[in-house]
Amino acid sequence: MKKLEQGAFLSMLVLVTAVFFYLLKPFYAAVFWACVIGLLFYPLQQRFLKLWKNRSTLAALSTLVVVITIGVIPTLFVLASFFQEGAALYQRLQSGDINIGERIEHIRQAFPAVQLFMDRFNLDLSTFTSQLSGAAIAASRFIAQNAVQFGQDAAKWFVSLGLMLYLAFFMLRDGSDLVALLARALPLGDERENLLFAKFAEVTRATVKGNLVVAVIQGSLGGIIFWILGIPAALLWGVVMTLLSLIPMVGAGLIWVPVAVYLFATGSWIQGLVLTGFGAGVIGLVDNFLRPVLVGRDTKLPDYLVLLSTLGGFVLFNINGFVIGPLLAALFVAFWEIFIRDFNTPEDTS
């Protein structure tokens, strides 16, 4: 009878938990980033806690002010400028002020090898040009439409932002207690739970700090050099390079390399050389030197696993995937390491 009662209770526990998580589905992103903020800024929270003589509420509020100042406000400014430049680019493409076909023709005339390469593989340059033009218009239209949507849904967006910051306050103030409560609830054993919690925190910090730092530096450097060289929509391309830099081994080169080729094709040799030298010697080195130090070394994951998990994360979880993907990969590795250590050790035959 007791086993029946326990089984019924556990079944109801699973059901209620599943329904509760389904109830929170619209707020998953806010909850996730609140947890990330709690992990990233926990050391700062502890410093404020000492400064304010263990007044946890005041320390959490002070930390939240720092988060808003260095994270939220600059992000809002960049997003607003990004959508504005994206809408302007769409208008220029629609009006014909920017002609993709004409610019590709410049490249073909300057580099005949491009035409020979495409002829060798039976590729039609006119078809490629029309597809590229369509893709450029579609991408800029998407940004322009989202700019309108962003304005229409501003209230909803700010509610989500407020919810995230509200939850982050409690994660900062009560994070240690919540982790201790979760450890008591999970029936995995203290040693395993501590290992998994430590891995979760380690990978989250390394992935967010590493990828974001690298992406922001590369995107900022790319936007600055575009602005110096007089390339239109420098901030727009800087944001695009930032987003591409979140993906390991892809990076900002997908943007600055074609631009450099176009500059050479149109006879702007000095600008092309400056962009090529700066892109390869500065932007590229940021990825080669900083990412392994900030991401790979701390996550203790192979480069190929970081790449695959990041790409898979983007496909399944959109922008949140650059954190969730490597995090799931690290937990996968950690669980299998625990299994091999505790459940699959070779028997002593002596």
Q: Looking at the chain, how many residues does it have?
A: 350
**What's the confidence (pLDDT) of residue 141?**
60
Tell me the C-alpha distance between 101 and 132, whole Å. 9
pLDDT band at 350 (very low <50, low <70, confident <90, very high): very low
What's the Rg (C-alpha) of the chain? 25
Residue-by-residue DSSP string for 49-100:
HHHTTS-HHHHHHHHHHHHIIIIIHHHHHHHHHHHHHHHHHHHHHHHTSS-H
Mean pLDDT of 111-122: 60
Mean pLDDT of 306-333: 82
Structure tokens at 142: 């998407």
* 163: pLDDT strictly greater than 70: yes
Tell me the C-alpha distance between 134 and 254, whole Å. 18
Amino acid at the residue 243: L
Higher-pLDDT residue of 176, 98: 176
Tell me the C-alpha distance between 25 and 158, whole Å. 18
Mean pLDDT of 339-350: 66
**What's the confidence (pLDDT) of residue 78?**
77
Higher-pLDDT residue of 50, 297: 50
The percentage of residues in the chain with a pLDDT greater than 70, rounded to a whole number, is 74
Higher-pLDDT residue of 135, 249: 249
333-344 pLDDT per residue, tens: 888 888 887 776
Average pLDDT across the chain, whole number: 77
Q: Where are the domains of the chain?
A: 27-179, 189-340
pTM exceeds cut of 0.85: no
**Helical ranges in 153-189 per DSSP H:** 154-185
Structure tokens at 206: 């390394």
Which one of 17-21, 116-120, 189-193 scores highest in mean pLDDT?
17-21
16-66 pLDDT per residue, tens: 989 988 888 888 888 888 888 888 888 888 888 888 877 888 888 888 999
* 214: pLDDT strictly greater than 50: yes
**What's the confidence (pLDDT) of residue 19?**
92
